[in-house]
A and B are shown apart, each in its own frame.
Chain A
């Protein structure tokens, strides 16, 4: 049909954000899990602080069990994945059944991971499903507008997370450049001054991470 409703534009954007959030937090979780194997004192609190979620866990073990799988916790990885699905399932005609199926498969992988003796292996499959979702979205969605709306959400979320994680300057510069390009071709109305400010912030001698998060969150 070639026209996108306000609701679907919003869903496409949030589909991009949630899938990115799931992907990046899964990667971080796996990395942190590895560090926690050797640690004597708990460091999971630092992880919570880093990605700006409340520490409701109390111990490393509870964190390792609940953070990925607890559907009652709105900050958990599975909750974010379910929010991605909530958006995707209402976009079947925009993104296609194939792309939607990879979001569904990621949920199945997380459900398997929850009861698996080797959860990290199943979680790797969930990450693979997210990557496949992005791949097929890029490959098979005809509408450039639709693709760009998903990617805009993805780019904003990644920059937001990378800034919260105090990532290296080169990573931030790359993500700001990607966002700057994507947002201009998305058709979404955005604040040009925020993009300009973001470019300056990542080049400044002292990086103001909070400001980057603020600019990224208010760019639309």
Chain B
């Protein structure tokens, strides 16, 4: 079925991934462990024409989300015009009042957007989630491609596809475009973060220095990197890989020990670019997700190219009624959770669990969304010499410099459990390379 020389080299590629430390960190029983991220050599293939369609839709979606963020932290016209209820703005855990009236350099909020999609059996693509804070995962298919080409050159001679190893170049362009003068750095919470491999690998590949909060300081409303001989080096752009609330203990969570005191003040004065901008979390909110097609119509006056998964907001009386009537056919998601957590399938609950959940849903309707369970198109994975169907999603990346660019690849994550729809690495999932065919 798969005439690919590469498949004979799956073990070799996985050995090479282990050699280069392609791991993610996980906490189990209060203990930190590094795990290898299992790679499956059968690629997800996307035809050129199909990717052109995705590209158009992704650019449109990210453009609308950027306009939404700009609007929400300034005039709030979308609220005034009754498109998005104000409850969905101010009650969102991602909304940050501190960002009111603050415009990031060149008006870009989301420099790197990770949009999660699934493909239904009808071949239709659906957007499942927008990740505008710190989307991770691009480094995995990128290094996998490098190692696959090394393991099986023949595969890449016979298959003509877009080279995905340009991600660091695109990322660097996005960072340089907003740099206000000085070094470009990547801020990591440190080695014990789940995505530390990615932080360090992107740092190596982009030439941006990897730093922790303790290595940076604010002086005279500017951000500096402190070198070992005590010199202060100006930082003009900071790609932060930590959440908004931990970024600055003086402005946000005072308990944070991984942020930089007063960095938000520097950002507010336009003296450093923060990538992505603080406050973007509202765009990740699963409740706001429901409104993205409406945003596209409102801000761009266009019909959305990409569909959302059919979603209901129990916040609305009519939707609540539908959710209660069709509970067993729906998947319910806590809007504040991520990483595959806070997701429950109506049909998997016991009677008691269901009753308890419905009580909570009625009490806090804003906290949940409900979606039709999309019948994902299965993707084959290799198990020994067998191929087995598994659920998989695709995280596509859009990078914003002068123009938005959709990276011609993406992270395909799959569930290793045949009965599961959850593909997250933290829950045991694996990954594949995403091939975008060039012809």
Query: Which A residues fall within an 8 A CB radius of B?
Result: 1, 3-9, 86, 89-90, 92-93, 96-97, 100-101, 104-105, 108, 187
Contacts and interface: CB of A to CB of B under 8 A. Distances in A.
B191 A6 contact: no
B207 A97 contact: no
A93 B21 contact: no
A89 B215 contact: no
A89 B21 contact: yes
A19 B315 CA distance: 60
Contact of B228 (A6, A100, A104, A108): A6
B229 A100 contact: no
B175 to A, nearest CB: 13
Given A1-B183, A1-B209, A9 B204 contact: no
B228 A4 contact: yes
Contacts of A4: 227-228
Interface in B203-237: 203-204, 207-212, 214-215, 225-229, 231, 233
Contacts, number: 68
B19 interface: yes
Instruction: Identify the 10 closest CB pairs spanning chains A and B, nearest first.
Output: A9-B228, A92-B200, A93-B203, A3-B227, A1-B209, A5-B215, A93-B204, A6-B228, A101-B19, A93-B210
Interface string B314-344: 0000000000000000000000000000000
B233 A90 contact: no
Contact of A93 (B183, B209, B228, B233): B209
B20 A187 contact: no
Interface residues of B, number: 27
Nearest to B230: A6
B154 interface: no
B24 interface: no
27 contacts: A1-B185, A1-B208, A3-B183, A3-B225, A3-B231, A3-B233, A4-B227, A5-B227, A5-B228, A6-B228, A8-B228, A9-B228, A89-B191, A89-B196, A92-B200, A93-B200, A93-B208, A93-B209, A93-B210, A97-B204, A100-B20, A104-B19, A104-B20, A105-B19, A108-B18, A187-B228, A187-B229
Contacts of B231: 3
B298 interface: no
B145 to A, nearest CB: 14
Contacts of A7: 212, 214-215
Contacts of A108: 18-19
Nearest to A88: B21
A108 B17 CA distance: 13
Contacts of B227: 3-6
A89 B20 CA distance: 10
A5 B226 contact: yes
A157 to B, nearest CB: 20
B51 interface: no
Interface in B6-48: 18-21
